[in-house]
Amino acid sequence: SISDPGDYDTRAPTRPAHVRAHRVEKSQLSEEKLRDMLDELCRNIAAGIGLFREEISGVSTGLQNTEITAATHETRLTKVEQQLTALQMAQTQTRESMASQEDKRRWKNLKCRRLYTTSVPQTI
């Protein structure tokens, strides 16, 4: 059988003071733990941002080095182009000089032939 209705309280149940105090402590621990977790999360984010900045700095340095290397190669290329132009000019001058010498040789041969043909008497 059911006990006396006086044994049951139909109002919202109230907890003893020590249970309420324990819940408050538990709640505070949760808040403290949440704060610690948030602090750790913030530290990790800050560390991540720091690493990301280092990465960006490294990439930036790499780009600067690449630009310097490109400028160096550009300078070398310009020098090689200048040398090529000088070689082409020298080649042209050499060809002109050789052509001039060939012309002189031909002219000399022609003069020698004329002299030979005019100075040697022809006998029939």
Mean pLDDT for the stretch of residues 10-25: 59
In this structure, is residue 63 part of a structural domain?
yes
| Domain interval for residue 61 | 17-119
Burial of 25 (0-12, 13-18, 19+ CB in 10 A): exposed
pLDDT tens digits along 75-100:
999 999 999 999 999 999 998 988 88
Query: How many folded domains does the chain comprise?
Result: 1
Query: For residues 55 and 44, what is the distance between their CA atoms, to the nearest angstrom?
Result: 16
Angle at 60 (CA atoms; ends 58, 66), nearest 5 degrees = 105
Q: Residue 1: which pLDDT band, with cuts at 50, 70 and 90?
A: very low
In this structure, is residue 24 part of a structural domain?
yes
In this structure, is residue 49 part of a structural domain?
yes
Beta strands in 1-124 (DSSP E): none
Query: For residues 101 and 95, what is the distance between their CA atoms, to the nearest angstrom?
Result: 10
